[in-house]
């Protein structure tokens, strides 16, 4: 039934992809659609061409043969006139008296469609059609297309458009000729397949790409993007001085190989997997080993771990490689979600499992799986039974703290244990003989004090020596590294049930562990034969399905997240919703080409990102062109590189880097930069924040700052670092006065300004002109303009003794410092 | 949970909010240079921030019209953390007097959801008196609030979905037992914006002694943009974190710095024409500058008369702290802040209203701290005419059991508790719903947290079904898929 809904929606989606004018700006205007054609007659053809796409996109998903919500079916004229609970859908020949028109225009509630008001042009088409008698075409709309929603079909590598003398874009019509067609050479511009796909859409939209950005813009953009820190003036200088054609390529390769790359891109993934160092809820207890999973993620990006392996390890590392510490740590993915530890009852357990199902569905499949907890999904083919099949996959899981030594650590530990043993034996021997002697003298149960007193002087000395040796060796041995992992309670687990309306103690039909049946291969069932030595094998089965080549979503969804980070918007701009209620892709062929290439080349990300960064698409200038912004205000077709706001982490890290204070140490337990006393509080487990020093030990990259669910570091929170309970598909970007207050007055920023000024004084000497140059180079990676320099000189002079520090402080508030063109 | 719309549709014709980024992208078009001197020199903005002659996008916090005319323009939420006992404050139970001491241990139908073992029925240690023309019974714990009885609409049949503090607090304050949802104040400022851009739209004052369970999760903007996040006002020192520049920076020097910064930013904008987000960011520096003086002035209670200070209990040790918060709440709503939330209690057990260890020691102390200040706030708002368009919500996360935990304590009771509303649009002197004869469960007209939140929104002119935000493929609501406005409490 759900599939039918999709099939109806799909027709619109696919037709729109090739209908360029429809595409730009998200909706069509009547003027665009009828340009150059005579006023259309309202007939079956008009219906097919104009009305049907609107119905298919916005109405039939719920009011078609499949769903008939409120009893209404708009797929044929007869059914529409028969109507639903609110009466006939329309009065043929009179739009204003038609319920359908009243609801789409907001005259009558509820407003339809519920996901957002129709564009004025679409309402106008409906009005014209209804006023014209509401004719349908002969065939009911439902049979118009028998396609599956694009995202549910495995990607197939599409041909790369070519731009020789003949344009390959034969299926589209070019509404407007490229403005600078005489000077722009498509074949020369296209550097790799990404450019070819992007250019194809640009041309279809009557647009041309922007010119290449300046080299200083490019190095800042690429460096911020790949490692999240500004390039040093020396790096900029070397890049500008390198006039070889490979200069940019070398830059990109250097950045991709930098360990800071993993810190930057690992952080993006940590958003998706709702990473935190505490458990949330009452007490918000610290999870002392959560950071091991964070370090695993950073390392996975740095080593370019194949994504299929990355997925397998996170979902089922304990089942796939039970002896590998790395794989065990990876299951931290399953452990880092919030947990209410005060009470354990079926509702809480169901909430925990919901966290796993919803997060996994969103993170890997880009589906709003959680919507099917209480009922079948309203838009996507996810049955409530599918949801509980997924819950059953995770039903046997539990969190566990385990030792995860490396072989070397294990060896060292065992060696020390072996060293301690004979010493301890000697102590025990002394104790035994003395005890026996004392008991023979009538002491019933000799205490250590009595034993010690009874020892000869020599024995006493030996005793003391042995004890201190054991103590020293035990201290040296320490504890084995620990991690919080997730594994199954055992090889078997009781049968799972649907929970009716999502209520934990209201059990419905039995379900077998599996996934979403409507997706290719998703109808698998995990039986008892899947069990491993210690686990049910259910998660391993899910992981294998997620990364199978026939899975239509995993690669697309992941690459789309990567694309979104680079370009500020996704090819699918709802990164965790590839379903029918999500946005349709702007460049579906490109996404498929990337996904297939990715899977065929071993799921390695760095080559894909290298291709993205080397594309001319990425290297475009970000200047707004009037004609282009009018045609495509949201830059969906990528006619320029957008100016991107830095995330909270990148703002803080950039400040530390510019001041010279950044401690680049990698990994390990989280650090606690000091917070204002008013934010500290006592909880069940003591203080909620362990204030560290405002010094080098906390001047680490923000990915290593404690992520406390009930208290985010204010400097990060104010710049939209999310309160991590659920998976975060895309951070908000807000601009608030509190951000201004933070950059102007927070003790952290003031201290860094001081250090920045000291650095400038040291590196640029006493000449204000040199100081200004150096400070601009450090913050925005370019020399100041003449006007900026003049303003700065005047300011420095006016401020006197505090001038340099005040000047450095002001630069942290520059728009250009937090926005990267 | 019940779905109130059989076809799952909401009516989304309410005030449409366009996320800033989206707006900027849609707005497109070049705006060229920006008159920064205009922004930095004096009256660059109207208080509402709607003047966009300079081509700037409207601020997300600009005032939005409600869905329909609402009586309330602003809200003060007074939240008692830990679980205030209804049977000891607003819900007298004669049956508890009669059956005092009768053991319910092991009796079917009495349990604490797996928490403590039920002991014996326990009468309230406090006497009740009838107050006002309406004759509302209030216990001796809250005589001053009792004296405002004719202004209160008491809801006695509240229920919660959790019997643990944090989920129940999240439920009451964000609509969901799980964190990550926008707070009540976030939803309201998202729906209505604010009347004063120079102060935060949603202000939170926590108990300075200990933090409420769930912490900032209770006033986080969740999936809404950070503009709608609650801003903590501190009880001492500067009201807002990082509000003031270091002391050695004079106002004049600060202005000089801002002008310098403005000119530099202008330079960048000149080379990036049309980037409206950059222009909008410049404006926030102006707002921040104004906030410094306005927020400082707002918390300066020294200018309040001696009589007013006395009214809020500022001259008594027990009441001074909460009295100050109540007085600040009045001063803030007076200045156009949309939503103020005050917390009584935090931390654990006797730092809050969580009277596991003994009712008397706990509630006596807590009630003493808030009774006079809350009544003072009601009276002060009334005499200033502010109660006509200010809504007061007095709530807690759950009630307490009619039977003992240990010898003199009471455990959490999610099946029944009392909250009250007062002020704008509220029918004073009313009682909605009731609990069973011992106060164990809501009996007549049970009310959910969704119902309460739907009512609060309704009083502000917001339809809880139309106040939505699309997130994760769904049109999210404060009231999820439930909620009925409590018609009985509307004036």
Q: Are β-strands B417-423 and B430-432 bridged in parallel, bridged antiparallel, or unpaired?
A: unpaired
Nearest-CA neighbor of B454 among B444, B463, B466? B463
Per-residue model confidence as pLDDT tens digits over B433-485: 999 999 999 999 999 999 999 999 999 999 999 999 987 667 899 999 999 99
Question: CATH code at B315?
Answer: 3.40.720.10
Residue B304 in tokens: 């309040």
Residue of B nearest to A735 (CA): B281
Give chain B positions within 8 Å (CB) of A109: 11, 13
Closest CA to B458 of B484, B430, B428: B484
Percentages helix, strand, coil for chain A (3-state, rounded to 5) are: 50, 5, 40
CB contact under 8 A, A745 and B225: no
Rounded to a whole number, what is the largest CA-CA distance in chain A?
121
Using CA atoms in the order A740, B190, B290, B250, what is the torsion angle rounded to 10 degrees? Answer: -30
Say what the pLDDT of residue A147 is.
Answer: 52
Select from B179, B208, B223 the Cβ nearest to the Cβ of A280. Answer: B179
**Do A366 and A557 contact (CB within 8 A), yes or no?**
yes
Q: Given CB atoms, is A597 within the 8 Å cutoff of chain B?
A: no
Name every chain A residue with its beta carbon within 8 A of the beta carbon of B273: 623-624
pLDDT digit string, tens, across residues B334-376:
999 999 999 999 877 788 999 999 999 999 999 999 999 999 9
A:373-412 residues touching chain B, CB 8 A cutoff: 374, 378-379
Q: Which residue has tokens 């992007």?
A: A198
pLDDT band at B278 (very low <50, low <70, confident <90, very high): confident
The token pair at A528 is 């008892």
Cross-chain residue pair A633–B28, CB shorter than 8 Å: yes
Q: Which two tokens stand for residue A36?
A: 């150059």
Residue B90, pLDDT > 90, answer yes
Interface contact A746, partner B, CB < 8 A: yes
Q: Is B479 helix (H, G, I), strand (E, B) or coil?
A: coil
Interchain contact, A111 vs B211, CB within 8 Å: no
Residues of B in contact with A582 (CB under 8 A): 473
CA B417 – CA B414 distance, rounded (Å): 7
Q: Are A419 and A516 in contact (CB under 8 A)?
A: no
Instruction: Give the separation between CA A302 and CA A260, rounded to whole angstroms.
Output: 8
Higher pLDDT, A71 or B296: B296
Residue B176 DSSP one-character state: S
Positive/negative CA dihedral, A319, A324, A328, A333? negative
The whole-angstrom separation of Cα A603 and Cα A546 is 13
Contact with chain B for residue A781, Cβ under 8 A: no
User: Is B246 part of a structural domain of the chain?
Assistant: no
The answer to whether B216 contacts A111, with C-beta atoms less than 8 Å apart, is: no
Q: Do the beta carbons of residue B187 and residue B440 sit within 8 Å?
A: no
The CA-CA-CA angle for residues A103, A108, A113, to 5°, reads 30
**pLDDT for B132 beyond 70:** yes
Q: Are A811 and A775 in contact (CB under 8 A)?
A: yes
Q: Which of A815, A817, A818, A821 to mutate to test the interface with B (most CBs of B within 10 A)?
A: A815
- Would you say B142 and A256 are in contact if contact means Cβ atoms under 8 Å apart? no
Cβ neighbour number for residue A449 with a 10 Å cutoff: 8
Residue B61 lies in a domain: no
Whether the predicted pLDDT of B235 surpasses 80: no
Say whether residue A786 is in contact with chain B using an 8 A CB cutoff: no
Take residue A747 and report the two structure tokens written for it.
């003790």
With contacts defined as CB-CB under 8 Å, which chain A residues touch B214?
A: 281-282, 284, 710
Measure the CA–CA gap between B196 and A319, rounded to whole angstroms.
Answer: 57
A352 touches chain B (CB under 8 A): no
**Quick one: closest CA in B to A714, which residue?**
B241
Report yes or no: B366 and B357 within 8 Å, Cβ to Cβ. Answer: no
Distance in angstroms between the alpha carbons of the first and the last residue of chain B: 28
Q: What is the DSSP letter of A497?
A: E
Q: How confident is the model at residue B42 (pLDDT cuts 50, 70, 90)?
A: very low
Cα separation values, A89 from A136, A315, A581, Å: 14, 48, 23
Locate the DSSP E strands across B47-158: 74-80, 128-131, 136-139, 152-158
Report yes or no: A524 and A540 within 8 Å, Cβ to Cβ. no
For B352-368, the DSSP string reads: TT--SS-HHHHHHHHHH
pLDDT, tens digit (0-9, with 9 covering 90-100), for B96-118 = 999 999 999 888 888 887 788 89
- Antiparallel, parallel or unpaired: β B417-423 and B390-396: antiparallel
| Structure tokens, A500 | 């009716």
Q: Which two tokens stand for residue B184?
A: 């009540």
B13, A746: Cβ pair inside 8 Å? Answer: no
Task: List all residues 6 or more positions away from A166 whose beta carbon is below 8 Å from its beta carbon.
Answer: none
The pLDDT of residue B220 is 85
Enter the tokens of residue B29: 């078009």
Q: Report yes or no: A35 and A416 within 8 Å, Cβ to Cβ.
A: no
* pLDDT < 70: residue spans in chain A: 1-40, 65-68, 114-116, 140, 142-147, 165-182, 684
**pLDDT per position as a tens digit, B298-321:** 999 999 999 999 999 999 999 999
Task: Give the C-alpha distances (Å, rounded to integers) separating B133 from B92, B391, B429.
Answer: 18, 21, 8
- A112 interfaces chain B, CB cutoff of 8 Å: yes
Set of chain B residues whose Cβ sits within 8 Å of the Cβ of A351: 177-178
A621 exposure class (CB count in 10 Å sphere: 0-12, 13-18, 19+):
middle
- Reduced to 3 states (helix: H, G, I; strand: E, B; else coil), residue A248 is helix
Helices A768-780/A803-812 angle, 10° precision:
20
Q: Please give the residue of chain B at the shortest CA–CA distance from A788.
A: B264
Q: At what angle do helices A538-546 and A384-394 cross, to 10 degrees?
A: 120
Burial class (CB in 10 A: 0-12, 13-18, 19+), A569: buried
User: What backbone phi and psi angles, to 5 degrees, belong to B349?
Assistant: 45, -115
Q: Which of A123, A297, A70, A307 is nearest to B8 (CA)?
A: A70
Contact A178, A149 (CB under 8 A): no
The predicted complex's ipTM stands at 0.77
Comparing CB atoms, the residue among A624, A679, A795 nearest residue B30 is A624
**Helix H or strand E segment including B454:** helix B449-459
pLDDT of residue A28: 33
Set of chain B residues whose Cβ sits within 8 Å of the Cβ of A745 = 242-246
- A621 interaction partners in chain B (CB closer than 8 Å): none
**Number of Cβ within a 10 Å radius of residue A671:** 20
Provide, as residue numbers in chain A, all residues whose Cβ is less than 8 Å from the Cβ of B346: 681
| Residue A153 neighbours by CB distance under 10 Å | 14
The residues, any chain, with a CB within 8 Å of residue B305's CB and separated by 6 or more, are none
Give the separation between CA A679 and CA B208, rounded to whole angstroms.
Answer: 9
CA distances from B345 to A438, B67, B81, B350, B354 (A): 60, 35, 5, 8, 9
Scanning every residue of chain A, which has its alpha carbon at the shortest distance from the alpha carbon of B26? Answer: A633
Q: Can you tell me the distance from the alpha carbon of B418 to that of B260, in angstroms, rounded to the nearest whole number?
A: 56
Cα distance from B67 to chain A (closest Cα, Å)? 13
* Cross-chain Cβ contact B21/A741 below 8 Å: no
Q: Is A738 on the interface with B (CB under 8 A)?
A: yes
Q: Does a structural domain hold residue B164?
A: yes
Report the residue of B1, B189, B242 to disrupt the A interface, i.e. the one with the largest count of A CBs within 10 Å.
B242
DSSP letters, A549-560, are TT-SSHHHHHHH
For B163, other C-beta atoms within 10 Å of its C-beta total: 23
Tell me whether residue B416 is in a domain.
yes
Q: Does A422 touch chain B (CB under 8 A)?
A: no
CB contact under 8 A, B472 and A368: yes
CA-nearest residue to A750 within chain B is B246
Pairing of strands B74-80, B390-396: parallel
Provide the strand spans (E) within A308-417: 397-403
The pair phi, psi for residue A409, each rounded to 5°, is -65, -40
The token duo for A662 is 């950044």
pLDDT at B33 over 70: no
Q: How many domains does chain B have?
A: 1
User: A618, A636, A639: which is closest to A628 by C-alpha?
Assistant: A639
Residue A39 pLDDT: 62
Helices vs. strands in chain B: H and E counts, helices first = 12, 14
* Yes or no, beta carbons of B12 and A116 under 8 Å apart: yes
Give the count of beta carbons closer than 10 Å to the beta carbon of residue A408: 8
Question: What are A593-637's pLDDT values in tens digits?
Answer: 999 999 999 999 999 999 999 999 999 999 999 899 889 988 999
Token pair, residue B39, equals: 């922004």
Dihedral class, residue B317 (left if φ above 0, else alpha if ψ from -120 to 50, else beta): alpha
Residues B343/B337, Cβ–Cβ less than 8 Å? no
Range of the domain at B101: 74-240+302-489
Whether residue B9 and residue A577 make contact (CB cut-off 8 A), yes or no, is no
- CA of B136 vs chain A CAs: smallest distance (Å): 35
Count interface pairs A-B at CB distance under 8 A: 269
Residues of B in contact with A819 (CB under 8 A): 275, 277-278, 281
């Amino acid at each position: 039934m759900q599939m039918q809904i999709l099939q109806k929606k799909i027709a619109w989606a696919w037709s729109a992809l090739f209908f360029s004018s429809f595409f730009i700006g998200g909706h069509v205007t009547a003027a665009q659609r009828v340009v150059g054609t005579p006023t259309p007659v309202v007939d079956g053809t008009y219906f097919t061409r104009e009305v049907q796409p609107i119905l298919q996109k916005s109405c039939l998903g719920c009011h078609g043969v499949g769903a008939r919500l409120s009893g209404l079916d708009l797929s044929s004229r007869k059914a529409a006139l028969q109507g639903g609970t609110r009466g006939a859908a329309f009065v043929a020949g009179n739009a204003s008296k038609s319920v359908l028109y009243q609801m789409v225009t907001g005259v009558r509630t509820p407003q339809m469609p519920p996901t957002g008001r129709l564009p004025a042009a679409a309402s106008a088409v409906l009005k014209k059609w209804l006023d014209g008698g509401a004719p349908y075409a002969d065939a009911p709309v439902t049979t118009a297309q028998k396609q599956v929603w694009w995202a549910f079909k495995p990607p197939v590598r599409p041909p790369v458009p070519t731009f020789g003398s003949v344009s390959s874009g034969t299926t589209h019509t070019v509404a407007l000729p490229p403005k600078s067609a005489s000077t722009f050479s498509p074949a020369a511009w296209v550097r790799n397949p990404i450019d070819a796909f992007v250019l194809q859409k640009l041309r279809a939209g009557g647009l041309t790409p922007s010119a290449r950005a300046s080299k200083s813009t490019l190095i800042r953009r690429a460096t911020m993007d790949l490692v999240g820190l500004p390039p040093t003036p020396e790096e900029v200088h070397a890049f500008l001085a390198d006039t070889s054609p490979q200069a940019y390529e070398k830059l990109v390769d250097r950045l991709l190989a930098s360990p800071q790359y993993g810190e930057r891109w690992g952080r993006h993934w940590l958003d998706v997997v709702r990473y935190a160092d505490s458990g949330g809820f009452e007490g918000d207890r610290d999870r002392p080993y959560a950071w091991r999973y964070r370090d695993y993620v950073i390392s996975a990006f740095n080593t370019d771990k194949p994504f299929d392996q990355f997925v397998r390890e996170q979902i089922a590392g304990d089942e796939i490689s039970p002896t590998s510490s790395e794989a065990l740590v990876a299951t931290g993915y399953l452990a880092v979600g919030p947990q209410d530890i005060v009470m354990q009852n079926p509702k809480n357990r169901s909430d925990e499992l919901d966290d796993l199902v919803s997060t996994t569905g969103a993170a890997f499949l880009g589906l709003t799986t959680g919507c099917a907890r209480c009922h079948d999904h309203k838009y996507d083919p996810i049955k409530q039974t599918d949801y509980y099949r997924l819950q059953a996959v995770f039903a046997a899981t539990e969190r566990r703290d385990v030792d995860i030594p490396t072989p070397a650590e294990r060896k060292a530990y065992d060696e020390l244990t072996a060293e301690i043993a004979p010493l301890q034996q000697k102590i025990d021997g002394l104790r035994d003989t003395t005890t026996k002697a004392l008991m023979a003298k009538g002491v019933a149960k000799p205490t250590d004090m009595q034993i010690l007193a009874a020892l000869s002087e020599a024995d006493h000395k030996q005793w003391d020596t042995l004890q201190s040796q054991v103590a020293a060796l035990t201290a040296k041995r320490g504890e084995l590294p620990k991690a919080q992992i997730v594994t199954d309670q055992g090889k078997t687990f009781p049968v799972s049930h649907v929970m009716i309306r999502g209520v934990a103690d209201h059990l419905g039909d039995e379900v077998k562990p599996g996934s979403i049946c409507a997706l290719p291969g998703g109808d698998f069932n995990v039986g008892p034969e899947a069990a491993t030595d210690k686990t049910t094998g259910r998660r391993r089965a899910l992981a294998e399905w997620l990364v199978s080549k026939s899975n239509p979503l995993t690669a697309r969804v992941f690459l789309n997240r990567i694309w979104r980070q680079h370009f500020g918007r996704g090819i699918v701009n709802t990164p965790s919703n590839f379903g029918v209620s999500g946005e349709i892709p702007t460049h579906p062929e490109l996404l498929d080409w990337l996904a297939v290439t990715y899977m065929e080349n071993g799921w390695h990300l760095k080559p894909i990102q290298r291709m993205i960064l080397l594309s001319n698409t990425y290297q475009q200038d970000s200047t707004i062109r009037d004609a282009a912004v009018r045609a495509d205000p949201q830059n969906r077709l990528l006619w320029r590189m957008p100016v991107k706001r830095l995330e909270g982490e990148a703002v803080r890290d950039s400040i530390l880097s510019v001041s010279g204070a950044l401690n680049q140490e990698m990994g390990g337990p989280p650090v606690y930069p000091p917070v204002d006393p008013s934010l500290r509080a006592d909880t069940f487990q003591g203080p909620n924040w362990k204030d560290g020093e405002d010094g080098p030990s906390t001047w680490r990259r923000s990915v290593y700052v404690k992520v406390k669910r009930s208290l985010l570091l204010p400097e990060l929170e104010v710049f939209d670092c999310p309160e991590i309970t659920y998976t975060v598909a895309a951070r908000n970007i807000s601009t608030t006065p509190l951000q201004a207050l933070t950059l102007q007055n927070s003790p952290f920023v003031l201290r860094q300004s001081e250090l920045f000024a000291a650095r400038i004084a040291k590196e640029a000497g006493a000449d204000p002109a040199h100081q200004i140059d150096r400070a601009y180079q450090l913050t925005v990676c370019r020399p100041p303009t003449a006007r900026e320099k003049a303003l700065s000189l005047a300011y420095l002079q006016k401020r006197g003794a505090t001038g340099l520090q005040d000047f450095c402080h002001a630069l942290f508030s520059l728009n250009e410092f937090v926005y990267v063109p | 949970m019940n779905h109130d719309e059989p076809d799952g549709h909401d009516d989304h014709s309410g005030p449409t909010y366009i996320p800033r980024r989206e707006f900027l992208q849609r707005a497109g078009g070049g705006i060229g240079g920006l008159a920064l001197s205009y922004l930095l020199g004096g009256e660059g903005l109207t208080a509402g921030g709607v003047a966009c002659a300079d081509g700037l996008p409207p601020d997300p916090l600009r005032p939005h019209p409600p869905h329909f005319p609402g009586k309330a323009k602003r809200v003060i939420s007074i939240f008692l953390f830990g679980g205030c006992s209804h049977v000891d404050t607003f819900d007298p139970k004669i049956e508890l007097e009669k059956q005092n001491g009768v053991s319910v241990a092991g009796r079917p139908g009495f349990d604490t959801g797996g928490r403590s073992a039920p002991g014996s029925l326990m009468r309230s240690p406090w006497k009740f008196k009838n107050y006002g023309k309406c004759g509302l019974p209030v216990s001796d714990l809250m005589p001053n609030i009792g004296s405002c009885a004719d202004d209160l609409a008491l809801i006695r049949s509240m229920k919660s979905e959790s019997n643990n503090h944090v989920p129940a607090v999240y439920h009451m304050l964000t609509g969901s037992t799980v964190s990550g949802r926008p707070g009540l104040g976030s939803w309201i400022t998202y729906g209505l914006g604010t009347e004063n851009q120079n102060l935060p739209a949603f202000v939170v004052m926590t108990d300075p002694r200990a933090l409420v369970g769930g912490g900032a999760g209770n006033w986080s903007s969740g999936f809404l943009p950070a503009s709608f996040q609650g801003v903590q006002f501190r009880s001492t020192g500067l009201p807002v974190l990082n509000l003031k520049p270091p002391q050695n920076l004079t106002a004049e020097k600060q202005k000089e710095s801002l002008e310098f910064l403005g000119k530099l930013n202008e330079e960048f904008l000149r080379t990036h024409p049309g980037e409206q987000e950059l222009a909008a960011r410049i404006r926030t520096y102006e707002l921040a500058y104004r906030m410094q003086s306005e927020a400082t002035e707002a918390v300066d209670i020294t200018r309040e008369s001696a009589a007013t200070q006395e009214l809020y209990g500022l001259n008594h040790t027990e009441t001074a702290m909460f009295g100050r918060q109540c007085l600040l709440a009045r001063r803030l709503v007076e200045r156009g802040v949309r939503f103020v939330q005050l917390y009584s209690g935090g931390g654990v057990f006797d730092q809050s209203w969580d009277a596991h260890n003994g009712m008397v020691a706990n509630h006596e102390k807590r009630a003493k701290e808030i009774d006079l200040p809350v009544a003072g706030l009601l009276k002060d708002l009334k005499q200033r005419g502010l109660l006509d368009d200010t809504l007061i919500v007095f709530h807690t996360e759950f009630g307490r059991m009619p039977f003992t935990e240990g010898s003199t304590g009471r455990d959490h009771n999610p099946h029944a508790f009392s909250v009250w509303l007062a002020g704008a649009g509220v029918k004073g002197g009313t009682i909605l719903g009731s609990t069973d004869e011992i106060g164990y469960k809501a009996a007549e007209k049970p009310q959910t947290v969704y119902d309460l939140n739907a009512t609060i929104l309704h009083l502000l002119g917001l339809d809880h079904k139309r106040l939505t935000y699309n997130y994760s493929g769904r049109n999210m609501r404060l009231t999820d898929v439930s909620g009925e406005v409590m018609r009985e409490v509307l004036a």
